[in-house]
């Protein structure tokens, strides 16, 4: 009984770690896309501001 409980706990923890590890590349990709979009919006904002100053 105790051995079965420890196996279930171990499997649950391993599954949780596996899900975290599989999620990290997705999170990293989202952060990269966000940063690129941020820089593009800053760049476009400067272009629009320069256009409206003319």
In a domain, 54, yes or no: yes
Query: Exposed/middle/buried for 49, CB within 10 Å: 0-12, 13-18, 19+?
Result: exposed
pLDDT tens by residue, 1-54: 667 888 999 999 999 999 999 999 999 999 999 999 999 999 999 999 999 987
Number of structural domains found in the chain: 1
Residue-range definition of the domain harbouring residue 52:
23-54
- Domain membership of residue 35 (yes or no) is yes
Query: In three state form, how does the secondary structure of the chain look?
Result: CHHHHHHHHHHHHHHHHHHHHHHHHHHHHHHHHHHHHHHHHHHHHHHHHHHHHC
Enter the tokens of residue 36.
């690129």
**Domain assignment of residue 42, yes or no:** yes
Residue 51 lies in a domain: yes
- Give the pLDDT of residue 42: 98
């Amino acid at each position: 009984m105790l051995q079965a409980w420890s196996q279930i706990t171990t499997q649950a923890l391993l599954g949780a770690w596996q899900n975290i590890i599989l999620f990290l590349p997705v999170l990293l990709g989202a952060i990269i896309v966000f940063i690129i979009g941020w820089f593009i919006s800053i760049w476009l904002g400067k272009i629009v501001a320069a256009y409206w100053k003319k």
